[in-house]
């Protein structure tokens, strides 16, 4: 197999995740030569702007995708939750690795859990999905936008700028920081983002050699789950601007998809759909239509 150039963001977490992908590829192709190339994305360059203020989607992936399409890199390693519901023309998700811990977590100052934080506690998060669900658990806390890498966010808790931050368990685990967690939220309390805890490897759709290699490390269970989740997001409007969560679990040949959608007033709709793995996309579409109907939202096709 020829040399592969892997594109990734430059953060410590992105590099660690790229190393996980690199190790998986080397296990099946020990002689492969791999070069890792860091790419600064728009989301990385503009740390002073909240993700909501960007007004678009894919701010952590588009710059990498452009280099992939141009042939500057051979594959791109993404956190799937950062990816829009559809890949650009000419690109495809060649593999998804087995999913990590999907839960969201609280890192509270002094190890405090959510119910032990002081009244009006300041919690850092740049995810409306997390914010609306945590506020449903405790309405008096103040949700404050926070940007920066994981270490930066943890320091802001230690320094007292925030009483806690909301993060993904998978990222902390991959960085060896899971011991910082004060509280793990169950998926019943805080439903994860579409594709959360999944590492996705993107390549050019016409690169048969790379697709063949990536296919050997693809996890079919994770693939079925994220197919349903991404169909759900796509039917809502690809990069839905409203708070959205989804989590699919596979058992045998069946798939159970839970979903959440909130409107601008903070109303939350939750529902779930079960179906065959072979109907994963339709399961996602059906759930999107149910939740939109519950909130009286009109979906544009």
Residues noted as catalytic: 82
Closest CA to 172 of 95, 100, 109: 100
| Torsion angle of C-alpha atoms 109, 110, 113, 115, degrees rounded to 10 | -80
Distance CA 157, CA 187 (A): 24
Distances (CA, A) of 239 to 86, 109, 129, 205, 244: 9, 33, 13, 22, 10
Distance CA 75, CA 51 (A): 25
State the DSSP string of 157-173: HHTTS-SEEEEEHHHHH
Contact in structure between 124 and 165 (CB atoms under 8 Å)? yes
**CA max distance for the chain:** 59
């Amino acid at each position: 197999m020829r040399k592969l150039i892997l594109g990734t963001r430059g953060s410590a977490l992105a590099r660690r995740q790229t190393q996980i992908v690199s190790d998986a590829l080397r296990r099946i192709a020990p002689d492969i030569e791999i070069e890792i190339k860091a790419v600064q994305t728009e989301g990385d360059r503009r740390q002073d702007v909240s993700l909501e203020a960007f007004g678009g989607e894919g701010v952590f992936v588009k710059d990498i995708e452009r280099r992939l399409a141009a042939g500057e890199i051979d594959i791109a390693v993404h956190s799937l939750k950062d990816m829009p519901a559809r890949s650009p023309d000419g690109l495809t998700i060649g593999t998804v690795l087995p999913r990590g811990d999907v839960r969201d977590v609280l890192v509270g100052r002094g190890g405090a859990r959510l119910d032990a934080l002081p009244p009006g506690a300041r919690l850092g998060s740049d995810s409306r999905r997390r914010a609306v669900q945590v506020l449903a658990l405790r309405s008096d806390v103040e949700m404050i936008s926070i940007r920066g890498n994981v270490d930066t966010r943890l320091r802001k808790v230690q320094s007292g700028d925030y009483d806690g931050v909301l993060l993904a368990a998978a990222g902390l685990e991959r960085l060896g920081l899971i011991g910082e967690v004060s509280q793990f939220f169950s998926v019943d309390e805080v439903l994860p983002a579409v594709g959360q805890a999944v590492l996705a490897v993107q390549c050019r759709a016409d690169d048969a050699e790379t697709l063949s290699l990536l296919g050997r490390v693809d996890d079919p269970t994770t693939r079925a789950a994220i197919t349903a989740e991404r169909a759900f997001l796509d039917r809502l409007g690809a990069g839905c601007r409203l708070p959205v969560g989804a989590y699919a679990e596979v058992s045998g040949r069946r798939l159970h998809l839970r979903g959440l959608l909130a409107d601008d007033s903070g109303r939350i709709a939750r529902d779930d759909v079960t179906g065959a793995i072979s109907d994963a996309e339709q399961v996602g579409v059906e759930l999107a239509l149910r939740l939109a109907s519950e909130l009286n939202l009109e979906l544009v096709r």
